[in-house]
Amino acid sequence: MTSAIATEFEPVIGLEVHAQLLTTSKIFCGCPTAFGAVPNDQTCPVCLGLPGSLPVLNRDAIEFGIRLILALGGRVNSPNIFARKNYFYPDLPKGYQISQYDRPLGEDGAVEFEFDGERRRVRLIRIHLEEDAGKSFHPETADQDPDTLVDLNRCGVPLLEIVSHPDIRDPREAAAYMQQLRRNVEYLGICTGNMEEGALRCDANVSVRPKGSSEFGTRTEVKNMNSFRSVERAIVCEIERQIGLLESGDEVIQQTLLWNESRQTVEPMRSKEESSDYRYFPEPDLLPIAVAPDWLNDVSEQTPELSLERAARFVREFGVPEYDASVLTDQKGIADLFEDVAREVSDAKLVSNWIMTEVLRVVTDRHPSVETLPVQPPALIQLLGMVRSARISGKIAKDVFEIMLQSGEAPEDIVAKKGLEQISDDNKLTELVDDVLNANPKEVTDYRGGNTKVLGFFMGKLMKASQGRGNPKRLNEILRERLGPPGGEQKPE
């Protein structure tokens, strides 16, 4: 951030986040919601908005919303009411979006998260349900039809909109808030949290004010960020633009801006509409939704442990450092894997190191999620069990892991087939040491003359001679025994 932000102005940020719900069908019809289908294949008269069709509410959409509201300590409104939000857009065939307005599904509650080593709490205004609109494409290449294309598969996919109070003061904090929401919806099983696929979207409301001022400045709304990083960048960019305006005596105009990822700039989209422009009114085709207390109790009882609680428990139960616990709980699948493996392999730090390095590298680079990883808990338990009992070295284990990923074979089988077991037999190890010492008399003399650095040289030779299979701890001990004390016997008086 520029120094101007740090000194004279304070940013004020409030986020509106849309989470696409993981229901199998749409919110008001039976069409499937799967991502990436053939355009316009997943549509019916209801989601196409054909005259005479009527919406039928999907119970799961309500339940998923309730899960999040309760998990965040919010209040569920009974009844809550759907409303029509009227506007024209080519990807909105009905001419209105069914949303919620003055009786949303939920109100209040807060998102808690770690930021710069501190616990932060951003309060929520409301959480409501609405239907998604379609998608417009504007092909620009010469060989494509230059007209705009519309895909209506997304029409009627359920969205949960989570609106925060303007409690955020730093673009990095905004990204951290988004990350925590992503973990929460993933742990609750209501949304994939995938920003790149648009399953989690963020509109950032941004204003700046002189430091110490208690009034908010005029805000703008920035849309179209498709990663956590671009949320942060877009907000930084908008803060700088607003400060520039104020410093040169201009005013900030309330408007909606689009983040341009390739140019890394914000660009005006439209002047900000007021809610009165939408002519909201209660949706006449849907009844108010009463939520029975029993339903709330059931959902509440099933609320799973979320990431922050789980991280704290990992520290308590497994004794891993806080840093490890936060990395391990970032994705639910990884946290499950750690827990399954650490219960069986009685060295939680070994398991944690392995998951944080080897497993996460593979998940990040080659497999989109831990669920599709070909290495599941039983295989990892077997592999790390062999490391723990010194049957194979840590280094060999990495090679075995790679083979497991490629072939799906069990680690025991790979080790047996390839003869990778660690050599821990003292006779064999002593033989190896003697061979290496005999072959390198100059370094032996150096060591005995006081140069202990050659120990590393000998260990390198020994690991090479044993093809990485010599037990390094025993080799080191035997080596020192055979060499005698450094500089001991030969030092002339």
Site for ligand ADP, rule CB under 6 A: 12-16, 163-166, 205-207, 216, 219, 275
What gap in Å lies between CA 313 and CA 63, rounded to an integer? 27
CB of 14 to ligand ADP, least distance (A): 2
Per CB under 5 A, does 387 bind Zn ion? no
Beta carbon nearer to ligand ADP, 68 or 454:
68
Query: In 105-254, where do the E strands start and end?
Result: 106-107, 110-115, 118-131, 135-137, 149-151, 158-164, 200-210, 220-225
| Residues 131, 120 contacting (CB under 8 angstroms) | no
Beta carbon nearer to ligand ADP, 1 or 54:
1
Instruction: With contacts defined by CB under 5 A, name the span among 28-36, 216-224, 349-357, 434-442 that binds Zn ion.
Output: 28-36
Helices in 345-410 by DSSP H: which ranges? 348-354, 360-365, 377-388, 394-407
CB of 29 to Zn ion, least distance (A): 3
Q: Which of Zn ion, ligand ADP, none interacts with 47 (beta carbon under 5 to 8 A by kind)?
A: Zn ion
Structure tokens at 380: 């990892």
Helix 411-418 vs helix 377-388: crossing angle, to nearest 10: 50
Instruction: With contacts defined by CB under 5 A, name the span among 41-49, 222-230, 236-244, 266-274 that binds Zn ion.
Output: 41-49
Helix 307-318 vs helix 171-187: crossing angle, to nearest 10: 80
Residues in the chain, total:
493
CB of 53 to Zn ion, least distance (A): 9
Per CB under 5 A, does 27 bind Zn ion? no
CB of 93 to ligand ADP, least distance (A): 23
Among the listed residues 17, 22, 47, 160, the single contact to Zn ion using CB under 5 A: 47
Beta carbon nearer to ligand ADP, 163 or 390:
163
Q: Which of ligand ADP, Zn ion, none interacts with 246 (beta carbon under 5 to 8 A by kind)?
A: none
CB of 26 to Zn ion, least distance (A): 5
Query: In 28-101, where do the E strands start and end?
Result: 75-76, 82-86, 96-100
Q: Which residue has the tokens 């660690």?
A: 422
What gap in Å lies between CA 484 and CA 486, rounded to an integer? 6
Q: Which of ligand ADP, Zn ion, none interacts with 242 (beta carbon under 5 to 8 A by kind)?
A: none
What gap in Å lies between CA 212 and CA 368, rounded to an integer? 45
CA atoms within 13 A on the CB side of 166: 18
Structure tokens at 325: 């616990």
Instruction: With contacts defined by CB under 5 A, name the span among 36-44, 110-118, 175-183, 396-404 that binds Zn ion.
Output: 36-44
With H, G, I as helix, E, B as strand and everything else as coil, classify residue 167: coil
CB of 174 to ligand ADP, least distance (A): 11
Q: Which of ligand ADP, Zn ion, none interacts with 29 (beta carbon under 5 to 8 A by kind)?
A: Zn ion
Instruction: With contacts defined by CB under 5 A, name the span among 24-32, 121-129, 160-168, 354-362 that binds Zn ion.
Output: 24-32
Q: Which amino acid is at 123?
A: R
What is the DSSP track for 21-39? ---SB-SSSS-B--TTPST
What gap in Å lies between CA 488 and CA 491, rounded to an integer? 6
Per CB under 5 A, does 61 bind Zn ion? no
Beta carbon nearer to Zn ion, 37 or 459:
37
Beta carbon nearer to ligand ADP, 134 or 166:
166
Beta carbon nearer to Zn ion, 46 or 341:
46
CB of 99 to ligand ADP, least distance (A): 10
Per CB under 5 A, does 76 bind Zn ion? no
Beta carbon nearer to Zn ion, 6 or 54:
54
Residues in the interface with Zn ion (CB under 5 A) total 5
Beta carbon nearer to Zn ion, 157 or 328:
157
| Residues 166, 12 contacting (CB under 8 angstroms) | yes
Beta carbon nearer to ligand ADP, 164 or 329:
164
Q: Which of Zn ion, ligand ADP, none interacts with 44 (beta carbon under 5 to 8 A by kind)?
A: Zn ion
Q: Which of Zn ion, ligand ADP, none interacts with 166 (beta carbon under 5 to 8 A by kind)?
A: ligand ADP
All residues at 6 or more sequence positions from 306 whose CB lies less than 8 Å from its CB, including other chains: 71, 183, 184, 187, 188
Among the listed residues 5, 15, 29, 311, the single contact to Zn ion using CB under 5 A: 29
Q: Which of ligand ADP, Zn ion, none interacts with 16 (beta carbon under 5 to 8 A by kind)?
A: ligand ADP
Residue nearest to ligand ADP (CB): 14
Per CB under 5 A, does 410 bind Zn ion? no
Beta carbon nearer to ligand ADP, 164 or 393:
164
Helices in 138-199 by DSSP H: which ranges? 171-187
**Omega into 79 within 30° of 0, i.e. cis?**
yes
| Residues 57, 289 contacting (CB under 8 angstroms) | yes
Structure tokens at 161: 């909109």
**Sites of contact with Zn ion (CB under 5 A):** 29, 31, 44, 46-47
